[in-house]
A = this chain, B = another copy of it.
């Protein structure tokens, strides 16, 4: 069984996709994944495919690439959508669903963060999960360090969530094939 994954990322800058790709391709050193504790991902080499990872900071590209109509952002900075946390959670789900649908992936991942802790969502055919990172920041006023801390938390949280979703997905598939 091969499981396909696709991401549509904002505040995680496409890093989740790159980390998944590097882990399942078995890349090492500076070319390998930077995140810790990805053994569960590396162990699935040959069982997972990262179809694509999109970094989509702008409202315009959310509409043109993902073909969704997200709520109107609180603000736009240089075309970049800035939502409050509640909207980010909703938009993360929209992004995860859209990238899953466009690519035909088994698992879609969406992330976006404006003001607050941001939104993270993972969707499968059966499951839609969403959460926030553990760090609050404001895209309009926070400095690079604060935004970096939120990003790191978001990436870590996404991987924790993905590990659970994968296990759930695999159990369900194995159960079906019995």
Chain A positions near chain B (C-beta within 8 angstroms): 4, 6, 13-14, 17-18, 21, 24-25, 27-32, 46, 49-58, 60-61, 64-65, 78-79, 102-104, 143-145, 147-148, 151
Contact = CB atoms under 8 A, between A and B. Distances in A.
Given A14-B55, A25-B78, A49-B58, 15 more contacts: A4-B79, A14-B17, A17-B55, A18-B55, A21-B57, A28-B144, A29-B144, A29-B145, A30-B144, A51-B79, A52-B57, A53-B55, A54-B65, A60-B103, A60-B104
Given A6-B61, A78-B49, A31 B145 contact: yes
| Identical subunits present | 2
Nearest to A13: B18
A65 B103 contact: yes
A57 B55 CA distance: 14
A12 to B, nearest CB: 10
